[in-house]
Chain A
């Protein structure tokens, strides 16, 4: 374990794009998650109001709601971490260093494990970063104080970890399958942000003339990106006094774990049967 992690670390620590992308991710997440308060102030100065409500009084950073609020925002930036996985893995394929690693004495299983350790490390770092961003913003801006409030709903941090980990494993699976980093990056973005959301809307709210059976709504919840997004539901309608799902559902965790096992299993099978 430790040795595999060290191998991965040796490969990455001198790779500039790795640091650029990691830095970009950290910067964006910190600025945007911590910057919502300043955005509200900006809105107020612009004279915006929500049905007579001053935006700065929206308790965005109140414990424990803060965890769902910021993890939800942060999930949009996981694509930058996926780029790291895609680019570094594609390099191993193009430079044939994957092949050389195997020749030198890594097992194919060990190689996948080392990539999963990289993914785990990235996901953990991203989660810790978000925890500190949330903790600091909350301590400064939250109205309720005290440990019970702070630590309630931290299950969203676990959900965030699982979401990032699974998404990056999905990226690993795709790059091993397709082998072209450009194609995978464009394809993954199109699929994540356009194709699957569109398909989801069509399945969940089909126009009447399509006459879809009623189970297509549930079917749509199983799609890879939809299943990931379901881990952390959109929290913001609560500020308009609508009901939201303010917990992490085990059923949705289970669906994601199924996808995760599928990606890991397939990545291994691809590598096992392919001539390198």
Chain B
């Protein structure tokens, strides 16, 4: 089921084109990473999808329907900074959210416990640290147990402990079958959490695809043996090696996605070569991201 689709979504601020003709789709259950350098149009995109920015042209649909207030009730979202009534406590602020979402107040206390604010629930929002404010924003997004979550830089302002907690929370939520749209410039974070990703730069979509597929390009296998010359000769007979590099007394192989590390080991063993070094290295989204940016 398609959760979200956009058609030529465009936003201009005077001469500046913040987002140009964006087309993409998000399917149910995806954890979708929205990547891009600062100012690439991530927040502009999300702002339009949440009806706080007016598109210059183009359209989009949530759940296959034109956007409406009711479709937004099924989306839990944080966009940029956490926005709450400063003179009200966490509980009181979540009551307002619950009333808007029409979801009842029974989830407020459990949600405050989930995001670790239960002890401070009766303190005014203005007394909170940035990390606590961010936690409350995440709590507000989760409150109505929505099928779709939009998280724009959710770990902003959190300490390392908080970052890990939020990451685990996102993974846990994703496993429950919810669809998550996750904007971040922390690529490591996206790699750990997302199934799919899209790269934006200067308002243009550069890439969209599956994280695993994209990373398989980046997978390398390092091998080493006592007789390196012999190793190279034998390896050159092996089908599926895309690139062979000599590095620090070892060979680094870039292999086709269908090749398993065990296949290489078995092949070399059959050729009577015994390896003294065999390491598989996952690619990183960071490398892939930089590659995508540099290719343009």
Contact = CB atoms under 8 A, between A and B. Distances in A.
Nearest to B79: A103
A143 interface: no
A16 B126 CA distance: 15
A100 B101 CA distance: 12
A275 B53 contact: yes
A130 B119 CA distance: 45
Interface string B80-98: 0101111110001001110
Which of B70, B85, B101 gathers most chain A CB within 10 Å? B85
Contacts of A261: none
B52 A276 contact: yes
B69 A106 contact: yes
A108 B54 CA distance: 12
B100 A16 contact: no
B83 A99 contact: yes
A275 B52 contact: yes
Interface string A86-102: 00000100011101111
Contacts of A91: 85
Contacts of A7: 96, 99-100
A205 interface: no
Chain B interface residue bracket vs A: 20 to 34
Given A10-B96, A275-B54, A276-B53, A107 B83 contact: no
B7 to A, nearest CB: 20
Interface residues of A, number: 27
A148 B10 CA distance: 66
B68 A14 contact: no
26 contacts: A10-B92, A10-B95, A10-B96, A10-B99, A11-B96, A14-B85, A14-B87, A14-B88, A14-B92, A16-B87, A95-B83, A96-B81, A97-B83, A103-B52, A104-B77, A104-B100, A104-B101, A104-B140, A105-B70, A105-B72, A105-B75, A106-B69, A106-B100, A107-B68, A273-B54, A275-B53
A100 B100 CA distance: 10
B152 to A, nearest CB: 10
B151 interface: no
Contacts of A14: 85, 87-88, 92
Nearest to A17: B87
Interface in A49-103: 91, 95-97, 99-103
Given A14-B88, A99-B52, A105 B83 contact: no
- Report the 9 A-B pairs with minimum CB-CB distance, sorted nearest first: A105-B73, A107-B69, A100-B83, A96-B83, A276-B52, A105-B72, A104-B100, A275-B53, A103-B50
A214 B96 CA distance: 55
Contacts of A97: 83-85
Nearest to B86: A95
Which of B75, B86, B99, B100 gathers most chain A CB within 10 Å? B100
Contacts of B84: 95, 97, 100
Which of A7, A11, A101, A103 gathers most chain B CB within 10 Å? A103
A103 B97 CA distance: 10
Interface string A234-276: 0000000000000000000000000000000000000001111
A15 interface: yes
A110 B70 CA distance: 11
A15 B87 contact: yes
A11 B85 contact: yes
A101 B77 CA distance: 11
Contacts of B77: 103-104
B233 interface: no
Which of A95, A110, A273 gathers most chain B CB within 10 Å? A95
Given A3-B99, A3-B102, A10-B95, A102 B52 contact: yes
A6 interface: yes
Contacts of B96: 7, 10-11
B100 to A, nearest CB: 5
Contact of A105 (B52, B54, B69): B69
A182 to B, nearest CB: 18
A91 B83 CA distance: 11
